[in-house]
A and B are shown apart, each in its own frame.
Chain A
Amino acid sequence: MVQVNLQTNILGANELIARKNRVSFKDQGILAINLMSSPGSGKTTILERTIERLGSEMKIAVIEGDLYTDRDAQRIEQKGVQVIQINTEGTCHLDAGMVTSAYEKIDKSDVVLLFIENVGNLVCPAEFDLGEDFRVVVISTTEGNDKIPKYPLIFREARAVLVNKVDLLPYTEFNLQECQEDLKKINPSARVFPLSGRTGEGIEIWCEWLLGEVRAKGRNL
């Protein structure tokens, strides 16, 4: 009988690729953001508003992740930025390898900001490093008050949390203060941006913050 000690990370394969992605983004001077949420929170609409606001100040590219269809990519394309659609055809999250393949198709010249819109899912994407600089999670006022305590891992790892659909607050039981308190317990340093992709409320503050993050990565605009 023989014992073999390995201490090998099981997710090692994805992490190796994620590390390579991270280096690629850094070499190109691109700030890469992994955008996550449950289905229907409004990620794509927020991206549309963000591109409308920032597209003239910086070159943005988008990688879209969905199980099926290129509907989201079509919407982003209408905004005049490069977008590559990944169809996972069943896989519930993006992984680093998928992002590598999509990134290869992008014309990177002058791109400073890359959004990777993940598959709508608050569980699995949290487990897979894509090589991003940081993660942003979107929740919306129509999803109830329990998302943060129910999905601690994804919120723990977020640099910012966007609370979308604030225009619908009068029609829901959502409590913004309670949401911020819940987040403070799990991730005290995460920024919270209440906004509405539909009306544009709060988008300016979110975009100003993004500009700051791009500059912090060393890109002058």
Chain B
Amino acid sequence: MHELSLVEGMMDIVRESASQNNIHRITRVKLVIGELTMALPDSLRFAFGVLSQDELFRGAELEIEQLGVICRCEECGNKFKPGDDYVFLCPGCGNGRVVVIQGHELYLDSYEGDEANGPG
């Protein structure tokens, strides 16, 4: 997966928002990653470590919330987790018409920082 470019994209979003909110130093960034995106948390952290060397991001912590895959069966409404082997068949009725309702997430949830004119 493209962790480096994902992190760059994330940092661009934070950078722009920080500039609009008068924040001059980022202390924490929170990402939410669904399992189906195949983005690896260790690789994301590594990329963030490499890229967060400027004034704005230096020392910032990267928090990653991982969301597992949850499916819903269109036939019986059962919600289930496919498991490590990614079997997308409903364990209740055996039907294959399932919808992934969690697992595709790849978003920047929030960040924390210090304002330019704030204390400290």
Contact = CB atoms under 8 A, between A and B. Distances in A.
Given A185-B89, A186-B87, A189-B96, A6 B1 contact: no
A186 B114 contact: no
A127 B109 contact: no
Main secondary structure of the interface of B (DSSP, over half): mixed
Given A185-B89, A186-B87, A7 B36 contact: no
Contacts of B107: 6-10
A188 B88 contact: yes
Interface in B7-64: 9-10, 13, 17-18, 21, 23, 27, 31, 36-38
A6 B108 contact: yes
Contacts of A188: 88-89, 96-97
Interface residues of A, number: 26
Interface in A110-130: 123-124, 126-127
A1 interface: yes
- Best-buried of B31, B85, B97 by chain A (most CB within 10 Å): B85
B38 A3 contact: no
Interface string A1-30: 111111111110100000000000000000
